[in-house]
């Protein structure tokens, strides 16, 4: 049975973000596709990128001929990822949310954001101060800053339009890194907008992987093992 794993990085990142994870998945026998979303190619015009274009790119990477497809989204990629679940639930057999969660209809990262793009430097001190960079080496931090691409404004402020309840039954795994799974659930129940979508989904498994917000660099082997376990468990039960 062929299982395809599509890896989608979050804000500021390209396919390169998964370079330490993808080889482990390929060694486990899975077909792996790592994406650079529209607007996040080096030198891209951020004004030309939209959530719809990013969702279309993710959907286009999912192979309808594969026996199973596992979609992995990190951080802000959960927004176009949720659009894909809404529009093409038949293309996703399991979705893995890496330190993120599905969103609800009308959600926007920052509806009032102004400007053409959000550069990494605009939030670097805030992110670093909150510990999201935990367990990253100086080399990894330097590479992050050097290779980061400004996040297109439309993907920050555009609200999502969701209408298909079938997305809610796609099996999901949430990899909880920056804070524990108990807090994920608690914050969702308290109304945290970026986690509230978890309350709507009917088949969610939580896995704790204590580290910072970027486990593809800080804990790549462990993250790959979680993803491979999802892919293999589904293949065995199919």
How much is the pLDDT for 234? 61
Residue 238 has pLDDT above 60, yes or no: no
CA contacts within 13 A on the Cβ side of 74: 27
Residue 116 CA to residue 197 CA, distance in Å, equals: 28
Which tokens in the block code for residue 235? 């293949």
Place of tokens 């192979």: 63
Confidence of residue 120 (pLDDT cuts 50, 70, 90): very high
- Average pLDDT, whole number, for the chain? 94
CATH number where 66 lies: 3.40.50.1820
What b-and-e string marks burial along 16-52, b requiring 16 or more CB atoms within 10 Å of the CB? ebbebbbebbeebebebbbbbbbbbeeebebeebbbb
Give me the mean pLDDT over the 116-133 stretch.
84
Tokens 């996703």 locate to 92
Query: Could you give the number of structural domains in the chain?
Result: 1
Any idea which of 25-39, 123-137, 183-197, 205-219 has the lowest mean pLDDT? 123-137
131 — phi, psi (to 5°)? Answer: 85, 10
pLDDT at 70 over 60: yes
Amino acid 83: pLDDT: 98
CB atoms near residue 225 (< 10 Å): 16
Res. 127: pLDDT tops 90:
no
What is the DSSP annotation of 70-111?
A: EEEEEGGGHHHHHHHHHH-GGG-SEEEEES-----TT--S-T
Give me the domain span that covers residue 44. 3-237
Q: What is the pTM of this model?
A: 0.96
Confidence of residue 237 (pLDDT cuts 50, 70, 90): low
Q: In the predicted model, is pLDDT for residue 208 greater than 70?
A: yes
Whether 121 contacts 201, CB under 8 Å: no
User: pLDDT at position 47, please?
Assistant: 82
The percentage of residues in the chain with a pLDDT greater than 70, rounded to a whole number, is: 96
CB within 8 A of 62, min separation 6: which ones? 4, 6, 69, 71, 84, 88, 91, 92
- pLDDT value at position 149? 95
SS3 assignment, position 8? strand
Residue 235 has pLDDT above 70, yes or no: no
Residue length of the chain: 238
Average pLDDT over residues 116-130: 84
Cite the beta strand spans of the chain per DSSP E: 3-8, 31-34, 68-74, 94-98, 117-118, 151-152, 172-176, 204-208
User: Could you tell me how far CA 119 lies from the centroid of its own chain?
Assistant: 19
Q: For residue 187, which of 178, 200, 174, 196 has the smallest C-alpha distance?
A: 196
pLDDT in tens, 23-39: 999 999 999 999 999 99
């Amino acid at each position: 049975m062929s299982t395809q794993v599509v890896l989608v990085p979050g804000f500021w990142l390209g396919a390169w973000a998964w370079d330490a994870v993808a080889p482990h998945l390929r060694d486990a026998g899975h077909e792996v596709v790592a994406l650079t979303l529209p607007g996040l190619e080096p030198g891209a015009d951020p004004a030309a990128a939209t959530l719809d274009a990013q969702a279309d790119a993710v959907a286009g990477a999912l192979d309808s001929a594969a026996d199973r497809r596992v979609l992995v989204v990190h951080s802000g990629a959960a927004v176009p990822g949720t659009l894909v679940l809404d529009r093409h639930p038949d293309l996703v057999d399991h979705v893995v949310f890496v330190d993120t969660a599905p969103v609800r209809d009308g959600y926007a990262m920052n509806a009032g954001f102004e400007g053409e793009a959000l550069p990494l430097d605009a939030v670097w001190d805030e992110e670093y101060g909150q510990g999201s960079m935990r367990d990253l080496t100086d080399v990894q931090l330097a590479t992050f800053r050097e290779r980061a691409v400004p996040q297109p404004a439309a993907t920050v402020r555009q609200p999502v339009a969701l209408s298909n309840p079938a997305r809610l039954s796609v099996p999901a795994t949430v990899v909880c890194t920056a804070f524990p799974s108990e807090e994920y659930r608690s914050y969702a129940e308290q109304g945290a907008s970026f986690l509230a979508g978890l309350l709507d989904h009917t088949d969610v498994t939580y896995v704790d992987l204590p580290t910072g917000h970027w486990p593809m660099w800080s804990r790549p082997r462990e993250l790959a093992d979680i993803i491979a376990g999802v892919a293999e468990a589904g293949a065995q039960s199919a």
